[in-house]
Structure 1
Amino acid sequence: MKTRSILRLSSSTISCKRPDSMFVSVRQISTGGKRPKKKIYHRDYQLDKVMDLQKKPSLILQLKSVIQSQNQQCLLLRDLEKEVGFVAKWNFMSVIEKYPSIFHGGGCSGKQLPFVTLTRKAKKIASEESEARILMEPILVKNLRKLLMLSIDCRVPLEKVEFIGSELGLPKDFKKSLILKYPEYFSIKDVNGRAYLNLENWDSSLAITAREERFAREGVLASGGGLKRVRIMKDGNYLGPFAFKMCFAAGFRPNKSYLEELQRWQKMEFPSPYLNARRFDVADPKARKRVVAVLHELLSLTMEKRMTSTQLDAFHSEYLLPSKLVLCLIKHHGIFYITNKGARSTVFLKEAYDGTRLVDKCPMLMFNDKFVTLSGRNEISSFNSMNSSQVVT
């Protein structure tokens, strides 16, 4: 099912005023007979900027991979179009010209054809990628197991895993390097002519959400199993066992009735996203809150804590996601953010970012930043300074 565009949603719920804001209907405090103003769901310009900041680093890393896949790690420029397409090749030609500290061009003399390869310094840093992938392997195995545990039948079509492979950080040969390497965890089985990735063994120790792990790190849960005394904050945050971290946009000013309703929702108990969704009535408010937890956990399993809305919607049947997925994401705009920057709409897990900086980074992202820093250009240096952080374990 194709993701519905935000602009096509019912005007009774959401209407578009201008490109940088959307109306969200919420209850208002009485204003003495005056028509109440609607609360505005503001764009988050910092998360929009993330999409712009990643464009050039993405091209640099993609070109690096193309060069490394060639014989002798040397790419003939005549083959660039075959690798990336006619339109994209001009962007890559620009990258080659702009970043001589990373890419070295040669040829054109005598019978030698024009080519591009990595500079000596770039090759040295690129050699560290294998170490980063070794560090990534246990993280990928754990996250892939959790991805299957979230599904209703502990299995996901293999094509859908491949669809989000780059977001998870999976290598292109993950079927051989991970699936076949760990037969105690994974298997590939044919179901009605379709290949599925199956979970072989359930591990209760993995059925802990990223939200619960954050609470443990922050000491919200007392050592005796109880809870520390906490209070509802004016920004909607509540450090209870069933609460989510709220990160409203700077321009959003929730009123009293909105916060009261949010407080009730934050305190509401809900089943673990790792329990089978078939056990719950979809009309139950607790089951609807559980869906938010499923989406939160799915995004938490990705390297950059984001997916395109199309990728999320692809898992509709495996996780019993709501038919109006975009509406669900917009309703919980303190947790998720949808940006239309870039080629596709992208859904962010807001708490994972501090402005434009991704708070926690896996070894692969740290390696990518180190390689891209070779460019020495201001916009790339800015990208890395805003994304420096610790390793995810």
Structure 2
Amino acid sequence: MIAMMLRRASKTLGLLHRHHLQLQCGQWGWWSRRWLVKVRLKWVKNRGLDHIIDRDTDIKAACLLKDAIAAAPSGLLPARSLAQFQKNLGLTVPVLRFLRRYPTLFRELPHPRFPSLPAFSLAPGALLLHRRESEAFQATLRDDAAHRLARLLMMARSRSLPLSAIFPLRYDLGLPPDFPSALATARPDLFRLSRRPTDGASILSLSSWPDHLAVSVLQLRHRDALAQPSYRDFKKPSASSAAPLAFPMRFPRGYGSMKKVKAWMEDFHHLPYVSPYEDASGIDPDSDLMEKHVVGVLHELLSLTIHKKTKRNYMRSLREELGLPHRFTRVFTRYPGIFYLSLKCKTTTVVLREGYQMGKLVDPHPLSLVRDKFFYVMRTGLLYRGKGMTKLVLEEDDLFSQGNYREEQKEQIAIDNEEQDGVYDDDVGVDDENVGASDNDDDECYELDDSDDEDGSDNG
């Protein structure tokens, strides 16, 4: 008992001493040192999240191909023009085979001028979904979509980004295909289109700094928690009693109960939280505080996406503007309770773990609900292939039936959160972790060094 009391007293004195030194050394003086204990963790495969990525890859490809066909003047997409879409879609099969796989969305017919050349138009089900998606874009354009894009620009150092860096994130941020002109017209108080003087590239800039948007998702969640009656009953919200900001953690199976992992995360959460919208130029780039700031920036970026995930290469194009380190992939693998890395579909995808539960988004966006209908229509085409088009579900009432849609989600929910047991390396205090794979033969192995795609080999 006496030894336990001494340990607690020593820990309290240590915290007070660090706080005293912080006041003496300036705002970030003490935190320029590294004192966090690091634990080496092996990567654990999450079949539920991998299944979501596999499914959403096909949905995204179907949506982008649908947009390309709808934007064509004749409403037809010739087969000879499909090669240009292969890399951007991230498909593991040829685009022609993908289009023929889903007759409920894409209808194949001879080209009007070249009968021997196949072409594709939108089927009735795709036209209906395209109309619903357009309605969702219009409903969320002025406020929700504009605020998401504004927050992204607010995190950038120059408060502007080239359109070439934003376009890959268009689908993930829930922006319409014509978002540069649409948002500049709808919200001139937030956005301004111009050209970069050095190379003439088109850039999107902030017209003004909206103070009410400079609040991170983590800060909003903390503020809402303080406003809960259950919290006020036990603690009066004040500067001294407010709990520190902590990232939600969902560790792979076996990690959450490890004493070293618990101690590591406890020390990590006690570090000051620097908002992604604050100036972090005064923080030592090699300090633990900067590492937590980087975690906060990546957490905020993934929180802005409507599917709570995006490809790593899309983040790489924003690295300099967001102030991310060169090898920022080590942040994803070092904090498996916050992020999940997947190599599904021959690319590297980063997922925010807190965004999913039981195979579904915790807070689904209206646009994501519309896109999920693509999955049902695509699966319907596969289930009834060869049984006649009269068997296909194309009526609007049936297409958006929640009962039918839930039936299609049973497979995904059944395998969600089936994570394999992981082990950890007992070495402590090493910054350059090695990430291995689990024992199953079909598991991929993630290397902590993210130089594997420095040449842009990831499918964009």
Q: TM-score, normalised by structure 2?
A: 0.65
Displacement after TM superposition at 1:274 (Å): 0.9
Query: Alpha carbons of 1:333 and 1:108: their partners in 2 closer, same or farther (altered >3 Å)?
Result: closer
Map of 2:33 onto structure 1: none
Distance change (3 Å), C-alpha of 1:222 and 1:374: closer
Equivalent-residue separation in structure 2 for 1:306 and 1:340 (angstroms): 13
Residue number in structure 2 paired with 1:61: 63
Partner of 1:48: 50
- The corresponding residue for 2:222 is 215
Deviation, structure 1 residue 339: 1.1
| 1:158 counterpart = 2:163 | yes
Counterpart of 1:22? Answer: none
Shift in Å at residue 254 of structure 1? 4.0
SS in 1 for 2:42: strand
The equivalent of 2:130 in structure 1 is 126
Q: Is the 8 A contact 1:150 1:274 kept in 2?
A: yes
What are the within-5 Å matches in structure 2 for residues 95-244 of structure 1? 95-107=98-110, 114-137=118-141, 138-187=143-192, 188-193=194-199, 195=201, 196-217=203-224, 219-221=225-227, 240-244=243-247
CA shift at 1:259, angstroms? 0.9
Give the match for residue 408 of structure 2: 382
1:348-378 Cα deviation digits (max 9, x unpaired): 1111111532222323222222244223146
4+ long deviations beyond 6 Å? 86-90, 108-111, 223-227, 378-381
Post-superposition shift, 1:342? 1.8
* Cα contact 1:152–1:278 (8 A) shared by 2: no
| Counterparts of 2:304 and 2:294, CA distance in 1 | 16
Partner of 1:249: 252
Q: Deviations over 1:209-228 (max 9, x none)?
A: 112233345x3455799896
- The corresponding residue for 2:75 is 73
Alpha-carbon distance change, 110 to 150 in structure 1, aligned in 2, over 3 angstroms: closer
Determine if the alignment matches structure 1 residue 271 to structure 2 residue 283. no
Counterpart amino acid of residue 347 in structure 1: V
Identity of aligned residues (%): 25
Q: Distance in 2 between matches of 1:100 and 1:158?
A: 34
Confirm or deny that 1:343 pairs with 2:369.
no
Indicate the SS of the match to 2:82: helix
RMSD: 3.6
> Aligned runs of 1:336-375 on 2, under 5 Å?
336-375=339-378
Structure 2 distance, partners of 1:181, 1:107, is 40
2:140 alignment partner AA: M
Q: Which has the larger radius of gyration?
A: 2
User: How far is 1:80 from its partner?
Assistant: 4.8
**Structure 1 gap ranges (5+):** 1-24, 28-37, 230-238, 388-393
Q: Which has the higher helix share?
A: 2
Q: Please report how far the alpha carbon of residue 304 of structure 1 lies from its aligned counterpart in structure 2 after TM superposition.
A: 1.5
Aligned residues of 1:185 and 1:201 also touching (Cα < 8 A): yes
Relative contact order: is structure 1 or structure 2 higher (C-alpha 8 Å, sep ≥ 6)? Answer: 2
Look up the SS of the partner of 1:347 in the other structure.
Answer: strand
Structure 2, unmatched stretches of 5+, are: 1-36, 236-241, 385-404, 414-460
Distance 1:82 1:336, change over 3 A: closer
The answer (yes or no) to whether the contact 2:376–2:408 under 8 Å persists in 1 is no
Task: Please report how far the alpha carbon of residue 39 of structure 1 lies from its aligned counterpart in structure 2 after TM superposition.
Answer: 4.8
Q: TM-score, normalised by structure 1?
A: 0.74
Deviates more, 1:376-385 or 1:352-361: 376-385
Q: Distance in 1 between matches of 2:233 and 2:327?
A: 35
Amino acid at match of 1:56: D
Q: Which residue of 2 aligns with 1:294?
A: 297
